[in-house]
């Protein structure tokens, strides 16, 4: 299942520009010179998972992803695979953005990562998921759900109003994963809600944590 999603490049053309939070405690620790090891892994995994859903838009989108990868506002969680000394199997471990290049090389092979940011969306502080990328061989084992639950916990601990992300409509398995399994909803700021005539290739999804965020991002069809 392709779980990798992010804020769509085209979203900025039709929706207000996202603002980074100014709280210094929420600044990323990952060095701007992200390790070449990680960059190679990220690029190859993104291409494997996302070239299909993006279709002809992929070449341009890939350039955007590469720039976002080293943006100073980006936070990361890395997923490594390590040998389990107590069983004849492999298991996964998570390392936060504080992980150094040295630790990345010695923690077992990368099998996935999450890129997220703390931003203002419609003046509401939110955790925005830019990427959730997993190698195909570790998908379908509950790891994607665990990572999203981890991000939701982090968002609430940091007093964010919501977790938000962008999903390509063509990525039907991811749409079902977020909406049916994780109970995300289509945000009121998504193009299909703002103006159905836009007919864009993506939706903006959200899970809100307070009344203020619900007023801005929640489903307004029943109002």
Phi, psi of 119 (to 5 degrees): -140, 170
Higher pLDDT, 19 or 108: 108
pLDDT in tens, 105-138: 556 788 999 999 999 999 999 999 999 999 999 9
Q: Report d(CA 72, CA 83) in Å as an integer.
A: 33
36-82+105-217: CATH topology: Aminopeptidase (3.40.630)
Work out the mean pLDDT of the chain and round it to a whole number: 79
207 in Cβ contact with 163 (< 8 Å): yes
- How large is the average pLDDT for residues 51-65? 85
pLDDT given for residue 8 in this prediction: 43
Q: Is residue 90 over pLDDT 60?
A: no
pLDDT in tens, 138-152: 999 999 999 999 999
HEC string for the chain: CCCCCCCCCCHHHHCCCCEECCCHHHCCCCCCCCCHHHHHHHHHHHHHHHHHHHHHHHHHHHHHHHHHHCCCCCEEEEEEEEECCCCCCEEEEEEECCCCHHHHHHCCCEEEEEEEEEEEECCEEEEEEEEEEECHHHCCCCHHHHHHHHHHHHHHHCCCCEEEEEEECCCHHHHHHHHHHCCCEECCCCHHHHCHHHCCCEEEEEEECCHHHHHHHCCCCCC
- Token pair, residue 56, equals 């002809």
Cα–Cα distances (Å) from 164 to 26, 57, 86, 95, 118, in that order, read 17, 22, 38, 22, 10
Q: Is residue 7 over pLDDT 90?
A: no
pLDDT given for residue 211 in this prediction: 97
- Token pair, residue 7, equals 């804020």
Higher pLDDT, 76 or 7: 76
Rg, C-alpha atoms of the chain = 17
- Token pair, residue 204, equals 């903006």
Q: Is 102 exposed, middle or buried (0-12, 13-18, 19+ CB in 10 A)?
A: exposed
Least confident of 45-49, 91-95, 195-199: 91-95
This prediction has a pTM of 0.77
Higher pLDDT, 6 or 51: 51
pLDDT in tens, 134-183: 999 999 999 999 999 999 999 999 999 999 999 999 999 999 999 999 99
- How large is the average pLDDT for residues 83-96? 54
| Structure confidence at residue 14 as a pLDDT band (50, 70, 90) | very low
Give the residue from 69, 215, 177, 223 showing the smallest Cα distance to 203.
177
- Token pair, residue 12, equals 């900025």
| Angle between helix 36-54 and 58-69 (nearest 10) | 150
């Amino acid at each position: 299942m392709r779980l990798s999603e992010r804020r769509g490049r085209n979203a900025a053309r039709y929706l207000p520009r996202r603002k980074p939070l100014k709280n210094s405690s929420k600044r990323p620790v990952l060095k701007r010179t992200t390790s070449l090891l990680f960059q190679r892994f990220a690029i190859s995994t993104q291409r494997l998972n996302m070239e299909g859903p993006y279709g002809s838009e992929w070449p341009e989108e890939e350039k955007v992803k590469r720039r976002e990868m080293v943006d100073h506002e980006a936070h990361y969680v890395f997923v490594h695979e390590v040998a389990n000394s107590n069983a004849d199997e492999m298991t996964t471990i998570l390392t936060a953005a504080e992980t150094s290049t040295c630790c990345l090389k010695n923690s077992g092979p990368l099998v996935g990562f999450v890129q997220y940011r703390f931003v203002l969306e419609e003046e509401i502080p939110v955790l925005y998921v830019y990427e959730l990328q997993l190698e195909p061989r570790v998908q379908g084992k509950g790891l994607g759900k665990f990572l999203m639950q981890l991000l939701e916990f982090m968002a609430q601990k940091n007093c964010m109003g919501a977790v938000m992300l962008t999903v390509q409509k063509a990525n039907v398995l991811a749409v079902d994963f977020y909406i049916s399994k994780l109970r995300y909803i289509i945000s009121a700021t998504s193009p299909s809600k703002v103006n159905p005539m836009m007919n864009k290739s993506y939706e903006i999804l959200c899970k809100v944590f307070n009344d203020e965020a619900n007023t801005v991002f929640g489903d307004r069809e029943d109002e």
